[in-house]
Amino acid sequence: MSDLVEITFLPEGRTAWVRAGATLVQAGEAAGVEIVMGCTRGMCGTDPVRVASGVDGLSAPEPHETGTIERMGLGPDHRLACSAKLVRGPIVVETGVL
């Protein structure tokens, strides 16, 4: 059970326990929250979420993800759901930030 990460999605208020290494999109599927994706590679910016708490529980962003977030004018509390992976919980993210 120790490789399961607690994650909650807002505003739906849905929580799931998801295996470490899963992306936020995969975690959303487990929680019953659909996150629309485009490129799946952190380039198009279709799927930003705001990390309300537990940002340290996500994998560190790759440079291309950071570049996309900056290009979109979003702050460092935002991640791309296709790219950010679960490391440890609890994590709370807010969808629908665009």
- State the Cα–Cα distance between residues 73 and 10, nearest whole angstrom: 21
Q: Are strands 14-19 and 4-10 parallel, antiparallel or unpaired?
A: antiparallel
Residue number with CB closer to ligand FES (17 or 50): 50
- Binders of ligand FES in range 15-44 (CB under 6 A): 37-40, 42-44
Binding mask 56-85 for ligand FES (x = CB under 6 A): ------------x-----------x-x---
Nearest distance in Å: CB 24, ligand FES? 9
Q: Is 91 in the site for ligand FES (CB under 6 A)?
A: no
- Which residues are at the interface with ligand FES (CB under 6 A)? 37-40, 42-47, 68, 80, 82
